[in-house]
């Protein structure tokens, strides 16, 4: 499954949200989520975690995408053969990932925009390798006709992070909405994640976005953002401190008190629910995802 996270302008936190979604993905022995940085402007994950990109990362993944694919077996076949981790056994995507602190697998992009851009362009011509696992792809800012936008048409689900409270972003969302809506003709599920202050309701935003649904409202959460970037940032708001104390008292490993993590988990579960559901399937109720 391929879940692409992108924005239409600016830098509203695509990498942070994509990382959080990947970290919160409902994984299983047969599903290992992999974060893939495919931003033509360059990557951030390697810098966040001090990773030295040698033989793994976006460049190696792009090169491997040009090689013939081996015969793939379904998860059921691997399970019948007694292989618990089909993603590692049958997939090539995870072979180009590094393991971040906490266990998340990631394919970081180089910081150099030229090098990253070439790799994304190569990957956009042979994106099949992304289907060899569960890929949460950080596409960054997408421009119609770019290599990043080409990846969107190969995704199963596209999450567009936007700030319609900003006049410029609202106008850009309205202008690009028909292009995003056209992805649905290719069987791609497309929804919006709203960031920043926005005085418009979900229905109002959906109307200017050619009917695209609002799946989430992403909170301003410095603690959650720092957590996804490998840094410790204690909560400042009183209610967050109380929530953190209560949560850690009951379960020290529970992070759902963090607003961003709670939102990302809801988005991850929603996207996972779309797995195997085509546009011709009966209409299902879309879960409302929000954070206090």
Q: Identify the residue with better confidence: 43 or 85.
A: 43
- pLDDT at 113 (0 to 100): 94
Model confidence at 137, pLDDT cuts 50, 70, 90, reads very high
Q: Identify the residue with better confidence: 80 or 200.
A: 200
pTM: predicted TM-score of the whole model, two decimal places: 0.80
pLDDT digits (tens, 9 = 90+) for 261-287: 899 999 999 999 987 544 433 333 333
Give dist(CA 25, CA 104) in Å, integer. 10
pLDDT digits (tens, 9 = 90+) for 148-190: 889 999 999 999 999 888 888 888 888 988 888 889 888 899 9
Mean pLDDT of 202-217: 91
- pLDDT at 199 (0 to 100): 78
- pLDDT at 77 (0 to 100): 47
Tokens linked to 146: 């770019």
In the chain, domain spans: 2-273
Q: Identify the residue with better confidence: 250 or 217.
A: 217
Give dist(CA 222, CA 259) in Å, integer. 10
pLDDT digits (tens, 9 = 90+) for 33-81: 999 999 999 999 999 999 888 889 999 999 998 875 544 545 554 455 4
Are 236 and 220 in contact, with CB atoms under 8 Å apart? no
Give dist(CA 96, CA 9) in Å, integer. 29
Say whether pLDDT at 290 is over 50.
no
CATH superfamily of 2-273: P-loop containing nucleotide triphosphate hydrolases (3.40.50.300)
- pLDDT at 251 (0 to 100): 45
To the nearest whole number, what is the mean pLDDT of the chain? Answer: 79
Q: Identify the residue with better confidence: 239 or 64.
A: 64
- CA angle (63, 50, 264) in 5-degree steps: 80
With b for 16 or more beta-carbon neighbours within 10 A and e for fewer, the 229-264 pattern comes to beeeeebeeeebeebbeebeeeeeeebebbbbbbbb
Bridge pairing between strands 105-107 and 98-99: antiparallel
- pLDDT at 66 (0 to 100): 83
């Amino acid at each position: 499954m391929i879940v692409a996270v992108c924005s239409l302008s600016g830098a509203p936190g695509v990498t942070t949200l994509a990382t959080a979604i990947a970290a919160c993905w409902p994984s299983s022995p047969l599903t290992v989520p992999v974060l893939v940085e495919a931003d033509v402007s360059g990557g951030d994950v390697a810098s966040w975690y001090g990773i030295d990109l040698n033989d793994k990362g976006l460049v190696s993944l792009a090169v491997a995408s040009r090689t013939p694919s081996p015969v793939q077996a379904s998860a059921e076949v691997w399970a019948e053969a007694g292989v618990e981790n089909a993603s590692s056994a049958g997939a090539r995507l995870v072979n180009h990932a590094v393991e971040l602190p906490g266990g998340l697998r990631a394919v970081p992009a180089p910081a150099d925009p030229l090098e990253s851009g070439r790799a994304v362009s190569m990957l956009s011509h042979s994106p099949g390798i992304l289907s060899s696992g569960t890929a949460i792809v950080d596409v960054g800012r997408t421009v119609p006709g770019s290599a990043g936008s080409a990846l969107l048409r190969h995704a199963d689900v596209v999450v567009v992070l936007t700030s319609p409270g900003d006049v410029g972003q609202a106008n850009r969302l309205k202008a690009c909405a028909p292009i995003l809506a056209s992805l649905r003709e290719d069987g791609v599920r497309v929804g919006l994640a709203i960031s920043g202050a926005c005085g418009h309701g979900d229905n109002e935003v959906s109307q200017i976005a050619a009917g695209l649904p609002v799946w989430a409202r992403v909170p301003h959460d410095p603690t959650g953002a720092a957590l996804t970037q490998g840094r410790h940032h204690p909560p400042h708001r009183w209610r967050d401190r109380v929530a953190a104390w209560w949560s850690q008292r009951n379960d020290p490993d529970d992070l759902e008190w963090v607003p961003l993590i709670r939102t990302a988990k809801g988005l991850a579960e929603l996207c996972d629910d779309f797995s195997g559901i085509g546009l011709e399937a009966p209409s299902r109720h879309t879960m409302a995802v929000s954070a206090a």
